[in-house]
């Protein structure tokens, strides 16, 4: 059986990841490709329950260490129940956030915990995407977009613009750390123009 492709979207809150994940999934489906569109934290029933613990409530609800464990638990469930079965049947998985978010949010911005993130990842996840789009944009603009949604899931947005600024730098550094699979994309453009760029990268890389 042919192995499907695993494509992820990363970037700060409100940068347009879910919009672009949706548009890319639609382009691939229109080409007759079997696509599973999913997201983290979540993407499987158990992982969605863990998601609520993570995205709602006060910003200091969890320590960074506890957060790493919860995100990794959710990811393991998502991997077992959704991602691995889809890839095994040859589907292409388009996922809004994956392990890079833990590397940046928990590993680089809330204490020097990257080593713990990496060790846990190697032990219980041990899967990298084939292709990752890192959507780069100004945190002030992204924050305006994100909070305008009023989703009730604003625990990380509520950590403020300085935090989002450190995240942006973290994602830029991550794209340099994994140049083979990561593509840094300018997110401050028309959504359809961004989508065209992404479809061209997918066509040339996969
Ligand atoms: P993320 O998943 O990164 O948080 P979303 O895709 O949910 O971001 O987008 C956040 C908000 O910004 C949404 O209201 C969406 O409609 C809007 N948006 C997304 N992409 C763009 C864009 N390129 N230009 C302007 N607004 C956008
Ligand atoms: P998400 O729903 O993608 O938020 P948004 O649409 O605003 O970008 O993710 C929820 C929050 O969880 C988001 O603020 C980023 C954070 N997060 C982490 O801190 N670590 C992780 O490993 C993941 C997957 C998400």
At residue 157, the pLDDT reads 65
Quickly count helices (H) and strands (E) in the chain: 9, 5
At residue 2, the pLDDT reads 44
Closest ligand 2 atom to the C-alpha of 15?
A: 8
Mutate to test the pocket of ligand 1, among 16, 23, 39, 167 (most ligand atoms within 8 A of CB): 16
Say how far apart CA 17 and CA 179 lie, in whole Å: 19
At residue 1, the pLDDT reads 36
Q: Is 101 near ligand 2, meaning CB less than 6 Å away?
A: yes
Tens of each residue's pLDDT in the chain, 206 residues: 346 899 999 999 999 999 999 999 999 999 999 999 999 999 999 999 999 999 998 888 999 999 999 999 999 999 999 999 999 999 999 999 999 999 999 987 777 899 999 999 999 999 999 999 999 999 989 888 866 666 777 676 667 788 889 999 999 999 999 999 999 999 999 999 999 999 999 999 88
CB 182 within 8 A of CB 117: no
Here the tokens at position 137 are: 């944009």
At residue 180, the pLDDT reads 96
Closest CA to 14 of 190, 172, 136: 136
Domains, the chain, with CATH or none:
6-205 (3.40.50.300)
Angle between helices 161-177 and 139-148 (to 10 degrees): 120
Here the tokens at position 193 are: 């123009």
Say how far apart CA 107 and CA 129 lie, in whole Å: 18
Which residue in this structure is represented by tokens 């695993």?
6
At residue 3, the pLDDT reads 63
Check: pTM over 0.75? Answer yes or no: yes
């Amino acid at each position: 059986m042919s192995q499907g492709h695993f494509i992820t979207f990363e970037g700060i809150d409100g940068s347009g990841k879910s919009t672009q994940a949706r548009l890319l999934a639609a382009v691939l489906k229109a080409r007759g490709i079997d696509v599973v569109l999913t997201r983290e934290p979540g993407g499987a029933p158990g992982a969605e329950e863990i998601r609520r613990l993570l995205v709602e409530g006060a910003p200091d609800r969890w320590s960074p260490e506890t957060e790493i464990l919860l995100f990794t638990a959710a990811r393991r469930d998502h991997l077992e129940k959704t991602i691995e079965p889809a890839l095994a049947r040859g589907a292409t998985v388009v996922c809004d956030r994956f392990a890079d978010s833990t590397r940046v949010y928990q590993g680089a911005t809330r204490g020097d915990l990257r080593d713990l993130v990496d060790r846990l990842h190697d032990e219980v996840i041990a899967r990298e995407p084939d292709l990752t789009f890192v959507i780069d944009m100004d945190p002030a603009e992204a924050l305006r977009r994100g909070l305008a949604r009023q989703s009730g899931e604003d625990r990380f947005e509520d950590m403020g613009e300085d935090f989002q600024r450190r995240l942006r730098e973290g994602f830029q550094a991550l794209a340099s750390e994994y140049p083979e699979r990561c593509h840094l994309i300018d997110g401050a453009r028309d959504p359809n123009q961004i989508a065209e760029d992404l479809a061209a990268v997918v066509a040339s890389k996969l």
